[in-house]
């Protein structure tokens, strides 16, 4: 591998690591062995999400926008009957809703409403900026910025298992789609609530999680290469 010239590294992001944590880990590993090399990632994953993260090094960091624009595939679980401020399990539920009326048939019917191009409101706890201010920083300070809905494309939304109030799913979507928002909106469509309890990104374009490195093993590989 020629990290300075440019490499594309596929990494399985560990739970509770930020995307920047992964970049920093790889950058430091490379710096010890090869000196200062540019490193960046192509598409943020939330700390509570796992899965495929594309890491670019050297001159390949110029291709980050290209990789970010590609469609994504995710699997995960949604818990119906409650919402949280972050739309995932980072915070405790703030509202509880009835679920007795929800049936598997209703879930499958509701999912159909989200396939195709839809208007989606981003989470208040997100990295979006309004007037130069980051939404999640404002939200943590107790202020809500005025976010605008955006057009996103949901190519596939498949329910893979139903164990009410928990629903497992697979989604294929465009850049800019928030799966946390999809969880919230599915709950609303069912006259209830919903929040994301797990999420794994399994694919970005033609890149697949099956081909990704475990972060620790990648670090060991970088160290091993420098001694050969």
The answer on 27 and 105 residing in a single domain is no
Please check the confidence at residue 158 and state whether its pLDDT lies above 80.
yes
DSSP secondary structure string for all residues of 103-130? -HHHHHHHHGGGSEEEEEPPPSSSS-EE
Inside any domain, residue 162: yes
Report the share of the chain in percent with pLDDT over 70: 99
pLDDT of residue 150: 92
Looking at the structure, tell me whether residues 104 and 197 fall in a common domain.
yes
Our answer to whether residue 191 is catalytic in this structure is: no
Mean pLDDT, range 158-174, rounded to an integer: 98
Q: How far apart are CA 171 and CA 179, in angstroms?
A: 8
pLDDT of residue 65: 95
Domain of residue 60: give its range: 7-69+208-227
Statement to judge: residues 189 and 218 lie in one domain: no
The answer to whether residues 196 and 83 belong to one domain is: yes
For residue 103, being part of any structural domain is answered with yes
As for how many domains the chain has, the answer is 2
Q: Do 220 and 186 sit in the same domain of this protein?
A: no
Q: Are residues 136 and 39 in the same domain?
A: no
Position 135 in a domain: yes
Looking at 2, 12, 21, 46, which residue is catalytic? Answer: 46
In a domain? residue 2: no
CATH number for the domain spanning 26: value is 3.30.2350.10
Average pLDDT over residues 153-172: 98
Please state the rounded mean pLDDT for residues 27-54: 91
DSSP 20-49: HHHHHHHHHHHHHHHS---EEESS---TTE
Query: Could you give the count of Cα atoms lying within 13 Å of 76 in the half-sphere of its Cβ?
Result: 27
Residue 45 forms part of a structural domain: yes
Q: Are both 79 and 119 inside the same structural domain?
A: yes
Q: Are residues 137 and 35 in the same domain?
A: no
Same domain, 218 and 171: no
Q: What is the pLDDT of residues 104-149, one digit of tens each?
A: 999 999 999 999 999 999 988 777 787 788 877 887 888 877 888 9
Whether residue 179 is predicted with pLDDT greater than 80 in this model: the reply is yes
User: What pLDDT does 228 receive?
Assistant: 54
pLDDT value, residue 130: 78
Whether 54 shows a pLDDT value over 70: the answer reads: yes
In the predicted model, is pLDDT for residue 5 greater than 90? no
Contact 57, 9 (CB under 8 A): yes
Does the structure show a pLDDT above 90 at 221? no
* Mean pLDDT for the chain overall: 92
Q: Is residue 1 part of a domain?
A: no
Whether residue 198 is found in the same domain as residue 220: no
Q: Does 174 share its domain with 141?
A: yes
212 lies in the same domain as 183: no
- The answer to the question of residue 136 being in a domain is yes
Phi/psi of residue 9, nearest 5 degrees? -110, 130
Global model pTM greater than 0.85: yes
């Amino acid at each position: 591998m020629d990290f300075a010239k440019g490499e594309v590294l596929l990494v399985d992001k560990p739970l509770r690591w930020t995307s920047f944590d992964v970049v920093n880990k790889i950058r430091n590993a490379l710096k010890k062995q090869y000196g200062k090399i540019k490193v960046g990632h192509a598409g943020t994953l939330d700390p509570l999400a796992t899965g495929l993260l594309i890491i670019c090094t050297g001159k390949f960091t110029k291709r980050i926008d290209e990789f970010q624009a590609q469609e994504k595939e995710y699997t995960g679980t949604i818990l119906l009957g409650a919402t949280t401020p972050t739309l995932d399990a980072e915070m405790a539920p703030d509202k509880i809703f009835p679920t007795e009326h929800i049936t598997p048939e209703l879930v499958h019917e509701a999912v159909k409403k989200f396939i195709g191009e839809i208007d989606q409101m981003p989470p208040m706890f997100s990295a979006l900026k309004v007037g130069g201010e980051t939404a999640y920083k404002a939200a943590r300070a107790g202020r809500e910025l005025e976010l605008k809905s955006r057009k996103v494309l949901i190519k596939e939304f498949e329910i893979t298992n139903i164990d009410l109030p928990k629903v497992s799913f697979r989604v294929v979507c465009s850049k800019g789609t928030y799966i946390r928002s999809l969880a919230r909106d599915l709950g609303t469509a069912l006259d209830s609530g919903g929040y994301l309890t797990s999420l794994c990104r399994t694919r970005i374009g033609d890149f697949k999680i099956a081909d990704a490195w475990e972060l620790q093993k990648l670090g060991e590989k970088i160290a091993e290469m420098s001694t050969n």
